[in-house]
Amino acid sequence: MKIIIYLFFVLIMSCESNIESDYITYDCEELQIFYEESVAPILLNNCVGCHSDYSSFEGSIAAIMEGNVIARINLDISNPRFMPLGSEKLSKQDINIIQNFSEQLCR
Please write the tens of the pLDDT for every residue from 41-52: 999 999 999 999
* Full residue range of the structural domain in which residue 69 is found: 27-105
Angle at 50 between CA 44 and CA 53, to 5 degrees: 65
Residue 57 to residues 28, 30, 35, 64, Cα–Cα distance (Å):
12, 13, 7, 11
Residue 4 located in a structural domain: no
Spatial neighbors of 106 by CB under 8 A, at least 6 apart, are 22, 23, 65
Q: Is residue 87 part of a domain?
A: yes
- Quote the pLDDT of residue 18: 44
Task: Estimate the crossing angle of helix 92-105 against helix 57-66, to 10 degrees.
Answer: 90
For the chain, residues with pLDDT lower than 70 are 1-27, 106-107
> So what's the pLDDT on residue 66?
83
Residues with Cβ < 8 Å from 40, sequence gap 6 or more?
57, 60
Q: How many domains does the chain have?
A: 1
* pLDDT score, position 21: 44
User: Residue 6 domain-assigned?
Assistant: no
In this prediction, residue 103 carries a pLDDT of: 87
Q: Is 2 a member of any domain?
A: no
Cβ(63)–Cβ(54) below 8 Å: yes
The pLDDT of residue 19 is 43
Whether 68 maps to a domain, the answer reads yes
Q: Do the domain assignments include residue 22? A: no
5 part of a folded domain: no
Residue 10 in domain? no
Say what the pLDDT of residue 10 is: 52
